[in-house]
Chain A
Amino acid sequence: GAVVSQHPSWVICKSGTSVKIECRSLDFQATTMFWYRQFPKQSLMLMATSNEGSKATYEQGVEKDKFLINHASLTLSTLTVTSAHPEDSSFYICSARGDPGQGIGTDTQYFGPGTRLTVL
């Protein structure tokens, strides 16, 4: 139980284009999802917290207009990197926290497999 998927697993795009990454909780419902970014040999950096049906809360220093987050349902959140540039190249990871009553930890964040974004 508590499986989170991400799609795509990797993407290469040209500078100036937009890229959408999907995060799905496959076997549980998640009112809250999180988006992280990870640079090589570094730990995870929280970008934003996404709540179903409401606007995402971004961490300080994260550009809201560049990283658009939509959390349209209890099982799906999307991150769109708009007008991507080479400095946006990174490993993006989402996580989901299960709602109470589903037999999984309600404080625990379950992570997806990550999406490797390369901007040329």
Chain B
Amino acid sequence: EDQVTQSPEALRLQEGESSSLNCSYTVSGLRGLFWYRQDPGKGPEFLFTLYSAGEEKEKERLKATLTKKESFLHITAPKPEDSATYLCAVLHYNTDKLIFGTGTRLQVFP
């Protein structure tokens, strides 16, 4: 069964304190892995798509990486405005459906 597990569930960081969020996945045929950011009361905002092991994508203070079993979202020198829930999702090769993890709730304090 296809499954996505994110850890930690919640993360509190001091402003400037870099860290990583983990997304472990089990899928029989990975077509793509997606990272989204979701603010309270809003829809998810697209961040990255990764397609193959070894691939990396960067955007401002965020960097996403992919291996055959997991993906990491690295946050470098975070700011309070980076506080949000970060969602990971995988797309199976043969379906249209995204399988979401339960998210990591990030809080960055000044």
Contacts and interface: CB of A to CB of B under 8 A. Distances in A.
Interface of A: 2, 4, 6, 32, 34, 42-44, 46, 49, 91, 93, 95, 97, 105, 107-114, 116
28 contacts: A2-B46, A6-B43, A34-B98, A42-B102, A43-B87, A43-B102, A43-B103, A44-B87, A44-B98, A44-B100, A46-B98, A49-B96, A93-B43, A93-B44, A105-B46, A105-B49, A107-B31, A107-B49, A108-B49, A109-B34, A109-B98, A110-B46, A111-B36, A111-B43, A111-B45, A111-B46, A112-B43, A114-B43
A49 B34 contact: no
A16 B32 CA distance: 41
Given A108-B49, A111-B46, A114-B43, 4 more contacts: A49-B96, A111-B43, A112-B43, A114-B42
Interface residues of B, number: 20
Label chain A's interface by main secondary structure. strand
Contact of B97 (A49, A105, A112, A114): A49
Interface of B: 31-32, 34, 36, 41-46, 49, 87, 91, 96-98, 100-103
Contacts of A34: 96, 98
B96 A32 contact: yes
B107 to A, nearest CB: 14
Label chain B's interface by main secondary structure. strand
A44 B44 CA distance: 10
A71 B45 CA distance: 23
A113 B46 contact: no
Contact of B43 (A32, A107, A113): A113
Contacts of A43: 87, 100-103
Contacts of B101: 43
B37 to A, nearest CB: 11
Contacts of A32: 96
A108 B50 CA distance: 10
